[in-house]
Amino acid sequence: MFDLNSREEAILIWLSLAFVGIMFVPKARPALAKLINVLFQPSILVAIGAAITWVALCVALLATLNIWALSHLKGTLVWVLTFGLATLFDVNRLSDTPRALRTLAKDTVAITAIIVFIGEFYTLPLWGELILIPALVFLGLLLAVADTKQETKIVARLSENLLMIAGLGMLGFSVYRIITDFQEFANLDTLRDFAVPALLSLMYLPFLYAVLLYMAHENAIIGMKIKFKDNRLRHYAALRAMVVFGGKIELLQRFKRNMNQAEELNRATIDETIKEVWESYKRAKNPPHVPWELGWSPYTAQSFLKAEGLKANDYHRFVRDWLAESPPAAIDDGYPPSRITYRIYGTKHIATRLTLTLDVNQLGKPEQADNRFWELAAVLLFESIGDEAVEVFKRDCIGRDSGEYVINEVSITLKRDNWGIDGHGGYSRRLFICHPAHVPGDNG
């Protein structure tokens, strides 16, 4: 029931040695004490207790179906200590991520689970695992540290390649053993050994989603503390948003963002903001047609640069205008990298102004960044105006720092602004595309 393979024995040996080493290093003991205090905080203990209770119920159900047996106890405990607790502690990060449940589900049912199972079915002798485990840990830590700085990227790539070779070697060793001793592998017990953790992972998803919703709710309340001085009003806002939006975490995040712009804080404003977020969400699902003489559909404009990796987020109220913008995207491999942002401005139903902004650091790779900016600008002009605009742009605009042009009554403006110290600063390039129906507001 608790027979350990050589890899598990090697891990326990190294963990024991590490613990003993920490106990003999005076400076390390306070850090260990802090870690233990964090783990024993009431909120952490409640979360772990709830997770273990849920897993116990899942195990009881699998046992009732004759899928789980006492021989799977060790594998179940290993699953809890690795996947179960790791994903539980990762939920807080995902609570601010759109489509977080989809991310959790993809991680759970990833094909890598099959590869890991095969790779760990057979292990090396104990002496081999005692060498392998610290080597892999060292390479993993080296990769994590080296990947944070541009000047050590070559070390990071080397570490990544060595880890890949080690993983392929472990997988190849297991596949060889399976082929040479297929009878031992191909039996019902092996199928159950694989099925139990896989089924536990799937059954764990509803619990993780419940924790995800709770964390999103708590983060929304915490995020509104500065804006809302009245605790009752803040809890009313969070509760009303959860009731209306249900499990749509991204709508809760939009509501929190929009409330931070509100000038008045009362129940009427809260209800109005919730209604506005919900109507905007429904409108994006079935965008109304926008005639050309009025401007662009903001929901169509969101995807003008989607194929190029610049997808604007939701179209929402911003001060007195409406705005959608893409997250700043790195477009070169300089350090720090140059970044580009695509924005859409307009009214509630119509977009009338598109902008493309490039921020370049002189220490990076400005030529590479500029070339990509001109490419994206051409795509945006084609999507928003048509072929004629691209032809004029390529003939008259590319390479220029500033200029104003009119194509099919649409105003096109180029600007460049320098910042910082020569050689150590940078510059910004901006492309403005203004529809003739555009009325300058707070955002130009």
Bond preceding residue 206 cis, omega within 30 of 0: no
Report angle CA 138, 140, 141 to the nearest 5 degrees: 65
Each domain of the chain, given as residue ranges in start order, spans: 6-214, 224-285, 298-434
C-alpha closest to that of 87 among 196, 204, 203? 204
Q: Token match 């105006």: residue?
A: 385
Over residues 240-288, the pLDDT tens digits come to 888 888 778 788 888 888 887 777 778 888 899 899 999 999 998 888 8
Distances (CA, A) of 59 to 2, 66, 188, 192, 248: 17, 10, 19, 13, 30
Over residues 93-141, the pLDDT tens digits come to 665 555 665 666 665 555 445 545 555 566 778 888 788 878 878 877 7
Q: What is the mean pLDDT of residues 170-185?
A: 72
Give the confidence band of 82 by pLDDT, cuts at 50, 70, 90: confident
Rounded distance between C-alpha atoms, residue 314 and residue 344, angstroms: 10
The 3-class SS string of 187-208 reads CHHHHHHHHHHHHHHHHHHHHH
pTM: 0.67
Q: Would strands 321-325 and 339-346 be described as parallel, antiparallel, or unpaired?
A: antiparallel
> In 3-state terms, the chain is what percent helix, strand and coil (to 5)?
60, 10, 25
Q: What is the mean pLDDT of residues 52-75?
A: 88
Rounded distance between C-alpha atoms, residue 171 and residue 238, angstroms: 48
C-alpha closest to that of 297 among 367, 357, 353, 350? 350
Query: What's residue 325's pLDDT?
Result: 93
Percent of the chain with pLDDT over 90: 22
| 421 pLDDT higher than 50 | yes
C-alpha closest to that of 174 among 218, 214, 122, 249? 122
| 204 pLDDT higher than 50 | yes
Q: What is the DSSP string of 154-193?
A: HHHHHHHHHHHHHHHHHHHHHHHHHHHTHHHHSSHHHHHH
Over residues 319-351, the pLDDT tens digits come to 778 999 999 988 877 667 889 999 999 998 999
Rounded distance between C-alpha atoms, residue 185 and residue 70, angstroms: 20
Do 412 and 404 touch, CB atoms closer than 8 A? Answer: yes
Query: What's residue 353's pLDDT?
Result: 94
Query: What's residue 219's pLDDT?
Result: 72
Q: Token match 């009362």: residue?
A: 266
Amino acid identity, residue 78?
Answer: V
Q: Average per-residue pLDDT in the chain? A: 80
Query: What's residue 72's pLDDT?
Result: 79
| 49 pLDDT higher than 80 | yes
Query: What's residue 54's pLDDT?
Result: 94
Rounded distance between C-alpha atoms, residue 331 and residue 366, angstroms: 10
